[in-house]
Each structure stands twice: as structure tokens, then as C-alpha cells.
């Protein structure tokens, strides 16, 4: 796959994930300023690992952003031990 094809693939997958995750009216989630660089790095790594189709790359990217949400949710007990 040429580097031009890889760039097109990355751009398409990034936009697909972004448009789905940051839909108008969707509350909560990871901030755009945090998500943007993390998602870009994640997608580049997935291409290096051999994912070369946009739907699979976009699905992995979306799952990645949802996993970042899970990391943000800490139980209250851990924040305020009794």
C-alpha cells in the first residue's frame, strides 16, 4: 500500500470515527482536544499492525475512544477511601 493510500485510509477512518463519536447532542465522553491526538496515534498503529480497510480501522478507532471513556470513570470509593 502506497503512503498516499495510507494517508487516504487514515483520513477516511479518522473522519468516520469523529463524525460518529462527536455527534451533536451526545453528552459526556472524551474531550475533543484529548481524543484528536490519541485517535490519530492509535489509527497509525493499527495500520502498522496490518489493518488496511477503512471500516475495520474506523470500528477499532471508535472502540478505542469508548475505552478511553471507561478509563475516565473511576469508582467514587477509590477517590474517597473510607
Q: Exposed, middle or buried, 57 (CB in 10 Å: 0-12/13-18/19+)?
A: buried
Residue 80 lies in a domain: no
Grid cell listed for 62: 471508535
Residue 7 lies in a domain: yes
Residue 82 lies in a domain: no
Residue 78 has a pLDDT of: 52
Q: What is the pLDDT of residues 19-76, one digit of tens each?
A: 999 988 877 788 999 999 999 999 999 999 999 999 999 999 999 999 998 776 655 4
Residue 73 has a pLDDT of: 61
Residue 79 lies in a domain: no
Residue 62 lies in a domain: yes
Residue 28 domain boundaries: 3-72
Question: Does residue 18 have a pLDDT over 90?
Answer: yes
d(C-alpha 13, C-alpha 40), whole Å: 10
Residue 27 has a pLDDT of: 74
Residue 78 lies in a domain: no
**pTM score above 0.85:** no
**How many independent structural domains does the chain possess?**
1
CB 16 within 8 A of CB 56: no
CB atoms within 10 A of CB 44: 13
Q: Which residue has the higher pLDDT, 1 or 3?
A: 3
Residue 25 has a pLDDT of: 81
Amino acid at each position: 500500500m502506497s503512503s498516499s493510500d495510507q494517508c487516504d485510509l487514515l483520513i477516511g477512518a479518522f473522519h468516520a470515527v469523529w463524525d460518529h463519536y462527536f455527534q451533536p447532542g451526545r453528552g459526556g465522553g472524551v474531550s475533543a482536544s484529548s481524543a484528536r491526538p490519541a485517535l490519530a496515534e492509535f489509527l497509525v498503529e493499527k495500520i502498522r499492525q496490518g489493518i488496511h480497510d477503512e471500516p475495520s480501522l474506523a470500528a477499532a478507532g471508535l472502540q478505542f475512544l469508548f475505552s478511553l471513556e471507561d478509563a475516565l470513570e473511576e469508582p467514587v470509593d477509590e477517590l474517597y477511601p473510607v
